[in-house]
Structure 1
Amino acid sequence: MRRRPLGRRAGTGLAVLSALAVLLSGCTPGGAKDEKNAAGPSDVYYEIFVRSFADSNGDGIGDLNGVTQKLDYVKSLGADGIWLMPIQPSPSYHGYDVTDYYGINKDYGTPDDLKRLLAEAHKRGIRVIMDLVVNHTSSEHPWFADASKGPTSAYRDWYIWSSERGGRSPADGAAGAPPWHALNGDDYLGIFWEGMPDLNFDNPAVRQEMTAVGQYWLKQGFDGFRLDAAKHIYGDFNSTINTPGVKQKNQAWWQEFRSGLNEVNPKAYLVGEVWDGPAVIGPYLKDAFDSAFNFDLAGKLIGAADTERSADIGFTLSRIYDYYAKSSDGKFVDALFLSNHDQNRVMSAVGGNVNHAKTAAAMLLTLPGNAFVYYGEELGMSGLKPDERIREPFPWNREPGKAGETTWEASQYRGDGTVSVEQEESDKDSLLSRYRTLISWRKQDEALRKGTVGSYEIGNDAVMAYTRAAGEVKRLVLHNLSGKEQEVTIVPPKGTGDAFAKIARSTDAAASLRQGKLTLPPYTTVVLKP
């Protein structure tokens, strides 16, 4: 979440790499194919800020038709899912304060435009989930406008008022900002900002309406939701957010929501924004969310890439996944990512080092679960907060402002055009090519996207290693995090007979494995198989 809204700002088709080029770019010859998984999914979702992505009508603002026109680019990347940031009407540029839960932001298009997008995405085998913001509305929502009239309003109890809840105490807002805001002699609760009043989920009518909203969008053809501020439904204050009672009420609400969605589509995918550690996330995976974003892991992966020092990711994840499996009766799927619309972009986080960005991507895309890629990270877009600077227009062309690009806001981080689709499409060493290669690996190799992850001791702080297994298919993944060649000895993991004797895939053809000695060129990722 972590946002303060600002006011509205006014503001070509591209060649798709052939399947052969995607497979061969950055791979060893032996890594261009895999025996029985060549046609599998990638389980990669591409996060799109519609306003910044692609403009179809020349008004400078990205729109739904622009996304539709660029679906072949998403497909060429290898993603088989997209996440649309809020598309509902809102007074803010970002859309996280909704004024009509059943509408489409007029800047983005019409209901027919959305139907076309969903149909074209599904035609390409691309799932579409949408951001759903139920914790709060906009202060300009008709419900809140009516509730503000006083205690006699039919919508008064749809929000939380201090006159009914014991004054301004507690006042330690869970999101860090002052939670109470004065209006017409009373105070209302809005933990993120005064323009985002919290809904009152103790009111059954609110819960019923929010479930109906979810059902409505599933009926329109969406495949699921990214659920904003998921732990804050009843988590209003730092002093109470982690108490058992609050956590149980949050879990119960999301289970109620899931149950309602099951009436329309039992296979709908729900991923929650629970910005917390595994102990808090776990209960949400019981009959509620399929996934919750792994914020802790994102920091560890970027930190390892930036410092060129390994961490035992395999051990950490194996312990967490064991807990999640018990919490969810084995039904959870991790939601991996490096950055999103609330965080500094990867390229800025690693100081502009493209090799570090490639390493971070390699770690992300060789771990189990659904991997989420924020638009532009595959190009190496830069950006540091405030939020507008990490949500800048997507650079389709070397030169800004050409047809199809958005201009709703000037880009401060665009640079000289080398970070653009046009520039990187034909460069086999580009970050875009590396993302395509790594995502193609996931499509070809089930063990890189599903199954288990385990610890592997390599005895070299510059090399990260972990095992992957999906049924009988076993892999050992190694990343040289450093700019120096590394040689490591490969032995079977303790307690197993798995001898990893062959290179299945490599980002550098110079990698070699001879008599149990693996040579890793600088910043190289290698996947070994028995």
Structure 2
Amino acid sequence: MKGLQQYFLLAVFSAIGWLSSCQQQQIKKEDVQDEVIYHVFQRSFFDSNNDQHGDLLGLQQKLDYLQELGVTSILLTPLYESVYYHNYYSSDFEKIDSTYGSKDEYLGLVKELHRRGMKLYMDMETQYVTEDHLWYKDSYGNPKSAFSDYLLYDDKAQLKPSSIVFDLYDLKGFDGKRKKITTVNLLNKEVIKYNKELFSYWLDPNKDGNFEDGVDGFRLDHMMDDLDNKGRLTNLFRDFWVPLIDTLKGINPKIHIMAEQADWGSYGIDYLTKAKVDWVFAFRIQQAIRSMDKEKITAYADTTFRDTPKGNNQIVFVENHDIPRFSTAVKQDKGKEKVGASLNLLIGGVPSIYYGQEIGMLGDSFFGKYGGITDANEIPYREAFEWKKDKDSPGMAYWYKNSGPWWDTSTVKSNDGISVEEQESDPNSLLSTYRNLLKLRKAYPVLISGSYQSFTNDNPSIVSFLRDNGKEKAMILINLSPEATTLQIPVDKQQAKLVYGENTGSAKQGKQEINIQGYQTQVWLLK
């Protein structure tokens, strides 16, 4: 086994062409700007006014925590007004949900983020509206309405609004309220104009050309070229999204547009090449990481990064607001939780951390268990962030308290080890792992800007890849199993420096023995 491992590593390092230390130029850390997104479900994050809803002031009060963690940017779920707790399916795109706070509080948050050198991204989905929206109320049963062509109807009398995704005509909320929902006609010229104005407002609210009060970009939820595959709103990349994005980039060229591709089996490359999107979500990598299958992780990462055009990027994640928690998926296996952190933050792309991921919060899906499709099914992985070991501590955002079985089976418990308070002073905790990995990125720019390149090894449990920015190289080895293993690389200790992880092997006769413990990550800087 060792002979084979030595052979493949020798071949790899010969192929990539090692540079001597005197030939390399060091990259200045300040020249490489890190981007680590913290995807926050703000209603569940921190409650500043004791109404049990997480809010904008609560988020602002926790910026020290986020900066200490090492994140640079915040991605909010929608802020606009909606009857639904998640704020998708809007009743008014121009109003901030009052449970989050006022517009002044929002602007205060944006300015404070920018003062700290952080960024804010806003999630937007303007493809659908509820029956409470002006366009719906005025046009329903009224073909003469000025808003008749703003929405899709299935009849001339406008009494049959068209369904939305999953062929839904309405949706029941966790609180028992049921609202009708319909699709916006994104090809209507006035709707296109409205979207340009709406998005532009959030870029520069006072239109003074100073973007300290504006967002740094948008997440485009459920983006499609043929909306919901109905054949009614087609060529949207060309006719809706590109004109919108061109307008926004014309206002602030520095913004980033990230798109959630509706097909989670897609690599999203057509969004980057046809819709002028900057980033898409690396769903295939996310799915592979959850499998803990080396071959899948390597294959999907290879394809993802190979096909992503230069100048664009993939957002790498293991959790988001639409899927069960990673710690639940790996059954709270502490080793696997840390492997997930390493792959999330070291494999490449723009990493995104979903709030609570860093402390191992739990949550499974309720789909199919309680009355079919409702907006309650995803509450288990949108629960209150666990700040203290006492689950009833001030600031806990229990907006869903006593509302149904998702509350009765809540995974938020006292004294279970899953809280910031219980982990922040423990050097072996998951929170410490995230903090240390993010510090590592800042210390070695190659882990931020370096391209990804896998290399083959004959161990079924070791994921191995290089990061290379043209001036520095790093080798990352991640053990997916609980079993220790040993490798040898054909270099001496002057050519490879261990900068993360532990190695008890010794350098002998120009070869470095590497011992990788179960679920361990090692990062070697190559000279």
When normalised by structure 2's length, the TM-score is: 0.82
Q: State whether residues 448 and 468 of structure 1, in contact with CA within 8 Å, keep that contact through their aligned partners in structure 2.
A: yes
Return the alpha-carbon distance in structure 2 between the equivalents of residues 181 and 107 of structure 1: 23
Q: Deviations over 1:55-101 (max 9, x none)?
A: 11111111100000000111011000000111111111110021222
Match of 1:210 in 2: 195
| Shift in alpha-carbon separation, 1:167–1:106, aligned structure 2, 3 A | closer
Match of 1:178 in 2: 167
Q: Which of residues 350, 364, 376 in structure 1 aligns to 2:330?
A: 350
Q: Deviations over 1:215-261 (max 9, x none)?
A: 00011311111111111x632337x59xxx93x43344221111110
Return the alpha-carbon distance in structure 2 between the equivalents of residues 180 and 292 of structure 1: 29
| Shift in alpha-carbon separation, 1:312–1:60, aligned structure 2, 3 A | closer
Q: Secondary structure at the match of 1:228?
A: strand
Match of 1:384 in 2: 364
Q: Which of residues 495, 498, 515 in structure 2 aligns to 1:519?
A: 515
Match of 1:324 in 2: 308
Return the alpha-carbon distance in structure 2 between the equivalents of residues 149 and 319 of structure 1: 50
Q: Secondary structure at the match of 1:263?
A: helix
Return the alpha-carbon distance in structure 2 between the equivalents of residues 513 and 397 of structure 1: 45
Q: Which of residues 412, 415, 435 in structure 2 aligns to 1:414?
A: 412
Structure 2 residue 92 is matched with structure 1 residue 96: no
Q: State whether residues 479 and 520 of structure 2, in contact with CA within 8 Å, keep that contact through their aligned partners in structure 1.
A: yes
Q: Which of residues 511, 521, 528 in structure 1 aligns to 2:524?
A: 528
Q: Secondary structure at the match of 2:331?
A: coil
Q: Deviations over 1:120-179 (max 9, x none)?
A: 11111110001111111222111111111321111111111111599999x9x884x335
Q: Which of residues 321, 345, 351 in structure 2 aligns to 1:371?
A: 351
Match of 2:290 in 1: 302
Return the alpha-carbon distance in structure 2 between the equivalents of residues 512 and 334 of structure 1: 37
Q: 1:473 deviation in Å?
A: 1.1
Match of 2:216 in 1: 223
Match of 1:142 in 2: 134
Q: Secondary structure at the match of 2:346?
A: coil
| Shift in alpha-carbon separation, 1:409–1:279, aligned structure 2, 3 A | closer
Structure 2 residue 497 is matched with structure 1 residue 503: yes
Return the alpha-carbon distance in structure 1 between the equivalents of residues 69 and 444 of structure 2: 16
Q: State whether residues 164 and 183 of structure 2, in contact with CA within 8 Å, keep that contact through their aligned partners in structure 1.
A: no
Q: 1:275 deviation in Å?
A: 3.4
Q: State whether residues 491 and 500 of structure 1, in contact with CA within 8 Å, keep that contact through their aligned partners in structure 2.
A: no
Q: State whether residues 503 and 513 of structure 1, in contact with CA within 8 Å, keep that contact through their aligned partners in structure 2.
A: no
Return the alpha-carbon distance in structure 1 between the equivalents of residues 129 and 96 of structure 2: 15
Q: 1:511 deviation in Å?
A: 6.8
| More moved, 309-318 vs 520-529 | 309-318
Q: 1:271 deviation in Å?
A: 0.5
Aligned length: 465
Return the alpha-carbon distance in structure 1 between the equivalents of residues 164 and 83 of structure 2: 24
Match of 1:23 in 2: none
5+ unaligned residues in a row in structure 2: which ranges? 1-24, 172-177, 206-213, 366-376, 402-406
1:2-401 correspondence to structure 2 within 5 Å: 38-39=29-30, 40-163=32-155, 175=165, 177-179=166-168, 195-220=180-205, 221-231=214-224, 234-237=226-229, 240=231, 246=234, 248-276=235-263, 281-286=268-273, 288-304=276-292, 309-311=293-295, 313-314=297-298, 316-325=300-309, 330-385=310-365, 386-401=377-392
Q: Secondary structure at the match of 2:465?
A: strand
- Equivalent AA in structure 2 for residue 301 of structure 1: I
| Shift in alpha-carbon separation, 1:413–1:60, aligned structure 2, 3 A | same
Q: 1:383 deviation in Å?
A: 0.2
Return the alpha-carbon distance in structure 2 between the equivalents of residues 143 and 374 of structure 1: 34
RMSD: 2.9
Q: 1:438 deviation in Å?
A: 0.9
- Equivalent AA in structure 1 for residue 197 of structure 2: A
Q: 1:513 deviation in Å?
A: 6.0
Return the alpha-carbon distance in structure 1 between the equivalents of residues 327 and 222 of structure 2: 26
- Equivalent AA in structure 2 for residue 528 of structure 1: W
Q: Deviations over 1:349-405 (max 9, x none)?
A: 111112101101101110222111100000000001221111000011110222222
| Shift in alpha-carbon separation, 1:284–1:252, aligned structure 2, 3 A | farther
5+ unaligned residues in a row in structure 1: which ranges? 1-33, 183-192, 493-497
Return the alpha-carbon distance in structure 2 between the equivalents of residues 506 and 165 of structure 1: 67
Match of 2:478 in 1: 479
Percent identity (aligned)? 28
Q: 1:332 deviation in Å?
A: 0.6
Q: 1:324 deviation in Å?
A: 2.5
Match of 2:374 in 1: none
| Shift in alpha-carbon separation, 1:320–1:282, aligned structure 2, 3 A | same
Q: Secondary structure at the match of 2:483?
A: coil
Q: State whether residues 454 and 468 of structure 1, in contact with CA within 8 Å, keep that contact through their aligned partners in structure 2.
A: yes
| Shift in alpha-carbon separation, 1:490–1:147, aligned structure 2, 3 A | farther
Return the alpha-carbon distance in structure 1 between the equivalents of residues 160 and 345 of structure 2: 47
- Equivalent AA in structure 1 for residue 188 of structure 2: N
Match of 2:434 in 1: 435
Return the alpha-carbon distance in structure 2 between the equivalents of residues 152 and 512 of structure 1: 82
Q: Secondary structure at the match of 2:357?
A: coil
- Equivalent AA in structure 1 for residue 337 of structure 2: A
- Equivalent AA in structure 2 for residue 489 of structure 1: Q
